[in-house]
Amino acid sequence: ETGVTQSPTHLIKTRGQQVTLRCSSQSGHNTVSWYQQALGQGPQFIFQYYREEENGRGNFPPRFSGLQFPNYSSELNVNALELDDSALYLCASSLGLAGLGEQYFGPGTRLTVT
């Protein structure tokens, strides 16, 4: 059984640029959620994708967007990067809608915006 994987591991971007982060869900899981974890804080829910559609969203602006593909892998896109976007981005996969099943987290992508 393959766990949740994310790429890249680390990324450095300049303010105003755009970034795409990728996540492959655990085998058999059809739901992917994305979280942002600032240094010293708990993760914050960005959004969730279920069967290729956004199924819920946290308090994040529209410049945070995502996709889920037929194989249930997912992308997180952030446009017009700001310094405060520097964080660890975690994706989590689950079988069925989050809240009905345990979420398994990937290793994360550390994004630094300068």
Partner 1 sequence: ELKVEQNPLFLSMQEGKNYTIYCNYSTTSDRLYWYRQDPGKSLESLFVLLSNGAVKQEGRLMASLDTKARLSTLHITAAVHDLSATYFCAVDRGSGGGADGLTFGKGTHLIIQP
Binding site for partner 1 (CB under 8 A): 31, 33, 35, 41-48, 50, 55-58, 90, 92, 97-100, 102-108
Q: Judged by CB, which is closer to partner 1: 98, or 113?
A: 98
List the Cα angle 6/42/20 in 5-degree steps: 30
Cβ at position 16, least distance to partner 1 in Å: 27
**Residue 105 and residue 95: Cα distance in Å, rounded?**
13
According to DSSP, the β-strands at 53-57 and 31-37 are unpaired
Min separation Cβ 48 and partner 1, Å:
6
56, burial (CB in 10 Å: exposed 0-12, middle 13-18, buried 19+) = middle
Q: Compare residues 15 and 51 and give the one whose CB is closer to partner 1.
A: 51
- Comparison of 53 and 62: residue with beta carbon closer to partner 1: 53
Q: Which is nearer to partner 1, 85 or 106 (CB)?
A: 106
Kindly state the smallest distance separating residue 104's Cβ from partner 1, in Å: 7
In DSSP terms, 89 is beta-bridged to 36, 109
Question: CA-based angle 94:98:101, to the nearest 5?
Answer: 60
Q: How far is the CB of 35 from partner 1 (least distance, A)?
A: 7
